[in-house]
Amino acid sequence: MWCAGLATFVLVYCVQGLLPTLADQFHLSSSTSSLALSATTGALALAVVPLATLAESWGRVRVMTIALATTAVLGVLAPLAPNFPALVGIRALQGVAIAALPALAMSHMTREVAPRWLGSAVGLLIAGNTLGGLSGRLIAGAVADVAGWRIALGVIGVLSIICTVVFRLLLPPAQAPAPAQVRLGELGPLVRVHLRDPGLVCLFGIGFLLMGAFVTVYNYLGFRLLAPPFDLPPQLVGLIFLGYIAGTWASTTAGRLGDRIGRRKVMWGAVLVGVLGAWVTVPDHLLAVLAGLLLVTIGFFGAHSLASSWVGRRATLLPGGSPGVASSLYLCTYYLGSSIGGAVGGIAYDEAGWLGVVVYVSGLLVAALGLALWLRRVPAPQHAAATA
């Protein structure tokens, strides 16, 4: 499962560090080049709810294997794209192919791992996700500097195929029975149950806004650092993604603090840290930019980890609620935030430079803070205020 997480996120985010290169190669604006990432996350967002809900009854291991293999093959084909629209199309197909995997992976762990080991197992899965996102960006950027973006994407595709093979060889046969089959006609009522709950809708909105702000910062900071007055070489610019390591610490720390002093207070603080970090990046000083980037990363991962775990807990209290469906809906809005929010952030950068990005990101985070504050007024389902 660690290999599955690695293969998934190395493919999804490998192009983020290549956006300046793609913009230069295809003579694109920064906002247009971001479609290489937005197409994948947007397609994933649109497909995740129906595929994740329907596919679980088809056999989790079978579906995850097919999803990984299909996405990896498309990853090998991506470098052969003759033009940028073709590349965007292949990346969109990758998003559809891999859509069911994030939700199915978490469901599989929950059903197959003994409760006393579940926390460690899920932590390992998330570590694979984080390492995949980080290594995809770093490897693609490093290879592109030496051999070009096509070879870089080819290397990522081969790496994903290797991870897929190891995943299938090592994964034990499923022990838990498959859940009852969900028909397509039953999906609408299941979704409506969760969309009628104002607390879940609020959390979905928070995920959308957080991810839109976060991906905007990482999408366009590379463009800024390559340009005057920084003029950094591309291989050094790629190292900004090491900031993701701080996100691993922030996620676990936010969870512990949330259990101790309350999820609401910690979420408010995490979002405010993100706003502060965005403004710290404004001066044209490299240390200030890097410090602000770390603060944005810590704030995002802290708030996101609380929101995503809160969704599952709240869904269990709803009559007819399903943590799996609720998590799929959260992933849908989360990746829509990446796709839509990141694309709009590019327009802000093209029109107003980095200050425009900071104002835009701050607006998204302040809106997320407003939703987090409004959560205080939302009653807990079934009067379970202590756990919701």
Q: Convert the pLDDT of each residue in 97-142 to its tens digit.
A: 988 787 777 777 777 877 777 656 666 676 677 778 888 888 998 8
Question: What average pLDDT score do residues 283-295 get?
Answer: 96
Provide the 10 A C-beta neighbour count for residue 111: 15
- Residue 337 pLDDT more than 70? yes
pLDDT given for residue 382 in this prediction: 61
Instruction: Please give the CATH topology (third level) of the domain spanning 184-378.
Output: Growth Hormone; Chain: A; (1.20.1250)
Q: Which of 7-16, 44-53, 308-317 is predicted least confidently?
A: 308-317
Write down the mean pLDDT value for the chain: 87
Q: Which of 181-185, 270-274, 370-374 is predicted least confidently?
A: 181-185
Interacting residues of 82 by C-beta distance below 8 A, sequence separation 6+: none
1-171 to CATH, choices 1.10.150.120, 3.40.50.620, 1.20.1250.20, 2.40.50.100: 1.20.1250.20
Residues of the chain with CATH 1.20.1250.20: 1-171, 184-378
- Residue 387 pLDDT more than 70? no
Give the C-alpha separation, 64 to 1, whole Å: 10
Q: Which of 55-64, 92-101, 165-174 is predicted least confidently?
A: 55-64
Task: Name residue, tokens 């003759």.
Answer: 82
Structure tokens at 347: 């327009």
CA angle 285, 289, 295 (to 5 degrees): 145
pLDDT given for residue 85 in this prediction: 96
Note whether 167 and 61 are within 8 A (CB): no
Task: Name residue, tokens 């984080």.
Answer: 130
* CA distances for 16 relative to 72, 118, 150, 220, 266, angstroms: 17, 32, 14, 9, 29
SS3 call for 29: coil
When comparing pLDDT for 28 and 247, which is higher?
A: 28
pLDDT given for residue 52 in this prediction: 75
DSSP run (H or E) holding 271: helix 263-280
The reported pTM is 0.85
